Amino acid sequence: MERKFSSKKIVALTAYDYSFARLLDTSDLDIILVGDSLAMVSLGLETTLPVTMEEMIIHTRAVNRGCHNALLVADMPFMSYQVSDEQAITNAGRFIQEAGAQAVKLEGGARMAGRIQALTNAEIPVMGHIGLTPQSVNKLGGYRVQGKNYKDARKIKQDARKIQEAGVFAIVLEGIPDDLAGEITQDIKVPTIGIGAGVQCDGQILVLHDLLGLGMDSSPKFVKQYACLGDKVKKAVSSYIQEVRDETFPDEEHSYKSKTHNLKSVSDAPQQ
Ligand code: KIV
């Protein structure tokens, strides 16, 4: 909340496992989100819809083991909070109690305000997520930028106000025009964290694999790739295959030696 009024942007990334969580946590990152993008990035699913609570819990636990500095937020998967307040509190509570998350994130605007209120009443900090909400892909008819016309933009601004009133501590603005994101950021008191929402938000989040060049073949316009690790991985694996096949690995440097070099004489020695 204080960061909203400081000039230092909030920086967030997703992580899905212990190794990456450790690496991210040693940097000056503010938030690690175990996003339901896990479904597509790590589990190879077509959308985020099929990922389950059990899968999200396992990955959040693993990330938690490597996360000691950043705020750990777990994404509530599709159908883990839509049915009732009770279902939402039970599942969000599992992320906190069983997996070590400090907050949960859920998608939806005004229509989710009551649910968010129920969670915050249960002492569970909630991050909101509005604009292009991937769990609504079937309703939205695809992954399209939202709020491009006046009516839709007003609705998204209203969504931000409603979930702020319900108690979110921050709001992810995904896939909306930069001027609308700027207007919402000025309008509300809690920080906005953009993804495909331009530079005027209070913070930014990206999917880790997109930033590292480990993602899909084509990325959306808003993704900036800061490294090409995919190419590096492929090159390293080809070198390994080559060296094993031409017997240059394992070499002397990577092999153990027995104290007595003549193993045959050891096994042939008469038993006492
Ligand atoms: O699941 C996810 O990774 C997300 C973010 C990118 C905001 O929801």
2 flagged as catalytic: no
What is the number of other CB atoms lying within 10 angstroms of the CB of residue 22?
15
- What residues flank ligand 1, with Cβ below 6 Å? 14, 33, 35-37, 75, 172, 174, 195, 205, 207
% of the chain with per-residue pLDDT over 70: 94
Residue 222 pLDDT > 60, yes or no? yes
Give the C-alpha separation, 28 to 7, whole Å.
16
- The pTM is what? 0.93
24: CB partners within 8 A, 6+ apart: 13, 15, 32, 66, 67, 70, 208
Q: Note whether 190 and 5 are within 8 A (CB).
A: no
Helices (H) and strands (E) in the chain, counts: 11, 8
87-126: per-residue pLDDT in tens?
999 999 999 999 999 999 999 999 999 999 999 999 999 9
The pLDDT of residue 267: 59
Instruction: Return the residue whose CA atom lies nearest to atom 1 of ligand 1.
Output: 35
Q: Note whether 127 and 172 are within 8 A (CB).
A: yes
The pLDDT of residue 272: 53
Class of 2-227 in CATH: alpha beta
Q: Where are the domains of the chain?
A: 2-227
